[in-house]
Amino acid sequence: MTAVRSAMDRLLRPRSVAIAGMSTKPGSLGGAVLANLERFAFEGDICLIHPSRADIGGRPCVPDTAALPNGIDCVVLAIPAAAVLAAVKGCAQRGVGGVIIFSGGFAELGEAGRAAQEEIAAIARGSGMVIEGPNCLGMLNYADGIPLTFSATDPRPLQVSGIGLVSQSGAMAAAIRAALNGRDLDLSFSISTGNEACTGAEDFIAYLLEDRQTRLIVLVAEQFRDPRRFLALAARARTLGKAILLLHPGKSAEARQAAQTHTGAMTGDHQVMRTVVEAEGVLVVDTIEELVDGAELVARCKVLPRGGVAVLGESGAFKALSFDYCAELGLALPQPTGAAAAAIDAVAPNLITASNPLDLTAQPLVDPGIYAKTIEPLLSDARCGSVLVSIILSSAQMARLKMPPVVEVVRRFAPQRTMIFAMLGEDTPIPQEYVDDIRRAGVPFFRSPERALRAIATVSRWQDRGLAVATSSVDTAAPLPAGIIPEHRAKAALAAAGLPIARGELAATLTEAQDVASRIGYPVVLKAQSVSLSHKSDVGGVILGIDSAEALAAAWQTLQQNLQRAAADVALDGVLVERMGARGVELIVGAKNDRDWGPVLMIGMGGTAAEAFADMRVLPVGSSEAQIIAEVRRLKGAALLGAFRGSPAKDLGALARAVRQLGAFVRAHPEIAEIDINPLVVYAEGEGAMALDALIHVR
């Protein structure tokens, strides 16, 4: 057992606990921790800390942490921020294993608080202590019955294995823990990490991944302080078969600012983060509802959904709504065919017609066996990876009539395929026994079919991705020179990497330009080249459609005059003379090497569409050609790439090959900050694609 593991065990599975911040007055945080420990019948030693009392409630007290017995496993500091530093020093002197700091007032409040927090971290690192917090809610160890939190809670013994909850926000930890418990889902641990002075979410995830009593991890993170380590942990989770579900606020600028003032986080690019962690097999969700719903589905189902869904209901209107909602979610509804369709049609001729969603009408009230008779043929279709049974429950009496056969049928089929139950009726009170029966069968119980379908879609997409993009090792190439690499040199590097680049050469004089044009063929374009001209067209540095030597002479003179007028102090490398490309659909293609998360690819529609309409997709650099094409088809302007208004469909295969080559290039050059190819023109199917402009920024 490593020293770090031992220290984490002492924090999360302590045999002895000390509490600072005790008071004889009701409502103290320290008193709430003690009440929780007593409620859970904690069997370890408990020592109380009070500056003036010898005992509280019959339990002995010491005046401060420096007076503690040697070797206390975990000390809970429920004291003001001003007293924390001295208390942590005392803990270090007495060989404490872990410290939980409730109080805020550290890095989340600015530089002075950050300095104090860093001093606490330095003490902890020097002594080998683990710090949870500051600015946290503490932790709950349900596996061993140890509640070190001031949030009042009741024992919930773990049967076999449960969900490990890690949240940088204490309030969110409490809310999500309550929601999971309300779904009758067991937790192994609930850990609030707060400001993460020296022990971060990554450390707790590493612990839970190796914990036999934790089967999956639910994570609420406002910042990853060690992104590369988190990616390694995600890969480890995949190896162990343990899912990580992540809720990460920060898509908006306002959310990023809130995170900074909340836990001292300094967040990065949210979409880059999401792309990279999803590629490593993390299930990322957007809302608390999705987090709880997804956790229930992953935790409870014996078989996880993938592919399409079969929906059974009792209403034609619900059938129509299901079509609409599944279309919005991108969730396939495979239609029954062949023997499966014939079997369904035979169940109740002229009443139930084979389709998906399937409207059972009121026939199950007459023949409860209809559920099995219709589900069985639907399950014969491998395209249906899950079945949603959605029943109208308008009263407790109706539940007693309908639910027994439903419970029996989902219990029967749950081991074969993902079975999910959702009632229509929302908060209609129904006997709890039916809810319990459904859940004991390994079937999630939802009070809303919309939430059920969204959970199915979320987990299905995660499953269908195959959990991760294959990332083979890549040999790095000779590093590129630092700074902005202008177009002509950027294109030369990209052409050497296999990207399609228009023919062209650099010219210093008109005579050289005319020689180049005669070799590559008219029409040509002239482009001024300088590291200082990232936006050449803004200063008249680009002239298009030159179709003869005479026109080239006139264009050369115009170009020089434009530059003299708008960029007289710019030193030119020369003028790029390039064969002018044919018309096609313009896209923006780029790559970014994020300092935290590593490289990603970006594709958007050309012109102003990508920026004006946020029409951009972000992809992992190891994406296959099929995955690239799938993402391109999700662009808002993707219709332009198909057969559109008489123009032929475009060469998506050539586009995908170019993007894949760009991914290999940026992986081979970790020194690259960004690459911008704008535009990359895609021609008719079979005619390829061409990069017409490119810029590389090297750190």
Residues 325 and 459 in one domain: yes
Q: Is residue 438's pLDDT more than 90?
A: yes
Cβ atoms 164, 149 nearer than 8 A = no
Q: Is residue 469's pLDDT more than 70?
A: no
For residue 81 the two structure tokens come to 């921020």
Is 322 inside a domain boundary?
yes
Of the residues 250, 281, 300, the one at which a domain ends: 300
Q: Is residue 263's pLDDT more than 70?
A: no
Is 79 inside a domain boundary?
yes
Q: Is the peptide bond before 415 cis (omega within 30 degrees of 0)?
A: no
Residues 81 and 184 in one domain: no
Residues 318 and 295 in one domain: no
Q: What is the CATH number of the domain that holds 341?
A: 3.40.50.261
Q: Span 451-475, mean pLDDT?
A: 75
Distance set, CA 29 to CA 22, 148, 263, 440 (Å):
7, 11, 20, 37
Of the residues 579, 595, 616, the one at which a domain ends: 579
What angle do the packed helices 316-329 and 449-464 form, to 10 degrees? 40
Residues 10 and 123 in one domain: yes
Residues 589 and 547 in one domain: no
Q: 643-692 pLDDT, tens per residue? A: 877 788 999 999 999 999 999 999 999 999 999 998 999 999 999 999 99
Is 646 inside a domain boundary?
yes
Residues 306 and 450 in one domain: yes
| pLDDT score for 255 | 47
Q: H/E/C letters for each residue in 591-636?
A: EEEECCCEEEEEEEECCCHHHHCCCEEEEECCCCHHHHHHHHCCCC
Is 490 inside a domain boundary?
no
User: In the structure, what pLDDT confidence band is assigned to residue 368 with cuts at 50, 70 and 90?
Assistant: confident
Residues 572 and 590 in one domain: no
Residue with tokens 């084979």: 354
Q: 92-147 pLDDT, tens per residue? A: 999 999 999 999 999 988 899 999 999 999 999 999 999 999 999 999 999 999 99
Q: CB-hemisphere CA count at 13 Å for 44? A: 20
Note down the domain range covering 234: 158-300
User: In the structure, what pLDDT confidence band is assigned to residue 266 with cuts at 50, 70 and 90?
Assistant: very low
What integer best gives the mean pLDDT of the chain? 91
Cβ atoms 121, 197 nearer than 8 A = yes
Is 665 inside a domain boundary?
yes
Q: 574-615 pLDDT, tens per residue? A: 999 999 988 899 999 999 999 899 999 999 988 666 666 678
Residues 571 and 647 in one domain: no
| pLDDT score for 477 | 83
Q: Is residue 185's pLDDT more than 80?
A: yes
Buried b (16+ CB within 10 A) or exposed e, 320-336: ebbeebbeebebbbbeb
Is 275 inside a domain boundary?
yes
How many distinct structural domains can be found in the chain?
5
Residues 460 and 329 in one domain: yes
Is 28 inside a domain boundary?
yes
Q: What is the CATH number of the domain that holds 48?
A: 3.40.50.720
Q: 606-657 pLDDT, tens per residue? A: 866 666 667 889 999 989 999 999 999 999 888 889 887 778 899 999 999 9
Q: What is the CATH number of the domain that holds 635?
A: 3.30.470.20
Is 109 inside a domain boundary?
yes
Residues 550 and 521 in one domain: yes
